[in-house]
Amino acid sequence: MNSEKSQTPINNPKSVVRLPIIIGITLAAGVLLGSTFFSGGKKLSDVAKGFNKFREVLSLVENNYVDSVNTEELVDYSISKMLEKLDPHTAYFNAEEATAARSQLESGFDGIGVEFNIYNDTVYVVTPLSGGPSETAGIQSGDRIISVNKENLSGPGVTNAQVYKLLRGKRGTKVDLAIERVGLKEKMNFAVVRDRIPTFSVDASYMVDQEIGYIKVSRFSESTFEEFKSALKTLKTQGLKNLILDLRGNPGGYMERATSMADEFIAGDKLLVYTEGKDSRFDRKTRSHVDGLFEQGPLIVLVDEGSASASEILAGALQDHDRALVVGRRSYGKGLVQMPIKLNDGSELRLTISRYYTPSGRSIQKPYELGKGDDYSQDLSHRYESGELFNVDSIKFDKSKVYKTDGGRIVYGGGGITPDIFVPKDTVMNSKYLFELYSKNIIREYALRYANNNQKKLEKQTFDEFVKTFDVSDAMIADMVKDASKSGIKPNPTELNLSKPIITSQTKAIIGRYVWGRKQKSGLNNEVFQVLNPTDNVFQQAVQMFNQAAQLEKGKFSSLNIPRKAD
């Protein structure tokens, strides 16, 4: 989640309680500094001609157009439209967008430290972050933020972006909040001083049983590798022998964090990834070189259609070196490297400068046509419609792009990382009624209210006892249905019964996270995943695959049932 941490309705059943909300912007290349970038290349006279023409037109519009115009907006629009003629990942961000995008990959931000949720046009505090300035000031879960620095923050049209803008700011600066609290008639006023708020990218790290460990990584930010190493060390002290590394839904980030993680699994001096571009300055090779924490032991990596960029670098390196069994669905297919170039006004150009390749030579970039970004953006919809997310036989391999792993297994380039073991997307329990509950945030709001009202009673038991003994009752479901009706959602007993397992598991997960997990300073949301993973078909399949992962590690490929099929 992006914080000041926002809680929003999520349409993916398995991720509805995943707290980090990530802007889907990836820096596949990490931070490559291009101080000499503009030297060389095409003749400067050609560029100058184009620049002079644009400046002439802009000047004519500014001085002679019949109505007043916003020149800055025209320039931003012109740049964005120009870049649409290039590849799908070259992009331009204005100053505000660039700041928001960079913050997703930084190790923290300056703010007041709250998780919030917008519900019925009202901003609710889900929880003040432990040790943060809001908790110190006395802000409580369930508080409604009415105004910030006397600017109204309730009513139709309130957005996450508006909340971020008001709550974030330079550390040491003061924020005046007007709060409404349940049980009090009068508004409360708080003065909160902004401070540095850490962000986390390792969402979960826990032992599934006495030997199997699980680590969930949501993105590759500044702090990801250190978070990962810390999590891995802790699991090893708890008896770790088999590891599940979950990269599903991970949109990428800094390449160096992904290759550093790969180095913890891959022994010796081996190629991890290489990049090639038009300009040789952007060609580079990254190899393993450290004694890693988990170079031996069965390893399973989970990927899906939301795993992109740096996630694919990591999964591809582990697959090519036969180090991990890859389980799930074909990954996104982003193999283009962007260089972030900060412009004078604070805006930013993300310019594609090379392609990356896995150790076997595979380009993971899926096909695209220059200037046809709309078609490219529909790829995941096409996968759904073609049945690829549900049937392994619907995955199409390009037989002209055949490569081999270290052990001689066939892998294919030209469009993402194809898993060794395919697991279909589970949509059996989805329903229109469930999505309506998501759209109005009914499940989360009910669970938080229940946790608030029953916190003292729930805290008398341990979380492990809660997992084993607590059930979401029919009476609780009935109360949730009443909440939905009040929000305009018509009851539908048939669809409710179909989706009931999802509704109950998510409700339980949110309650567990709120009561036992919110005081953690590590950023881990283990409680959520410990409740949801046993109902996750990909996770369930992975737990059963460690015999095959062990055979793979030993180089005994003939015993593996890994389908490969070419067009």
Amino acid identity at 298: P
Q: Please pick, among 15, 201, 307, 309, the residue that the annotation labels catalytic.
A: 309
CA 125, CA 98: separation in Å to the nearest integer? Answer: 26
CA 250, CA 240: separation in Å to the nearest integer? Answer: 24
Q: Is 96 left (phi over 0), alpha (psi -120 to 50) or beta?
A: alpha
Residue 82 CA to its chain's centroid (Å): 28
Under DSSP, is residue 514 helix (H, G, I), strand (E, B) or coil? Answer: helix
Amino acid identity at 322: D
Q: Please pick, among 203, 246, 320, 379, the residue that the annotation labels catalytic.
A: 320
* Environment class of 461 (CB within 10 Å of its CB; exposed 0-12, middle 13-18, buried 19+): middle
* Environment class of 154 (CB within 10 Å of its CB; exposed 0-12, middle 13-18, buried 19+): middle
DSSP code at position 231:
H
Q: Phi and psi at residue 290, in whole multiples of 5°?
A: -110, 160
Amino acid identity at 404: K
Q: What is the 3-state secondary structure (H, E, C) of 243-288?
A: EEEECCCCCCECHHHHHHHHHCCCCCCCEEEEEECCCHHHCEEEEC
CA distance readout (Å), 475 to 148, 500, 504: 38, 13, 12
Amino acid identity at 524: L
What burial letters (b/e) apply to 222-244, b meaning 16+ CB within 10 Å?
Answer: bbbbebbbebbebbeeeebbbbb
Q: What is the 3-state secondary structure (H, E, C) of 150-165?
A: CEECECCCCCHHHHHH
* Environment class of 473 (CB within 10 Å of its CB; exposed 0-12, middle 13-18, buried 19+): exposed
CA 437, CA 442: separation in Å to the nearest integer? Answer: 5
Active site residue 304: no
Residue 436 CA to its chain's centroid (Å): 23
Q: Is 131 left (phi over 0), alpha (psi -120 to 50) or beta?
A: left
Active site residue 334: yes
Angle between helices 493-512 and 442-458 in degrees, nearest 10: 50
Q: Is 415 left (phi over 0), alpha (psi -120 to 50) or beta?
A: left
Alpha helix (H) residue ranges in 144-223: 160-167
* Environment class of 145 (CB within 10 Å of its CB; exposed 0-12, middle 13-18, buried 19+): buried
Q: Please pick, among 5, 216, 334, 425, the residue that the annotation labels catalytic.
A: 334
- At CA 409, angle to CA 407 and CA 412, rounded to 5? 130
* Nearest Cα to Cα of residue 110 among 178, 39, 170: 170
Active site residue 309: yes
> Parallel, antiparallel, or unpaired: how do β-strands 5-7 and 114-119 relate?
parallel
* Residues classed as catalytic: 309, 320, 334
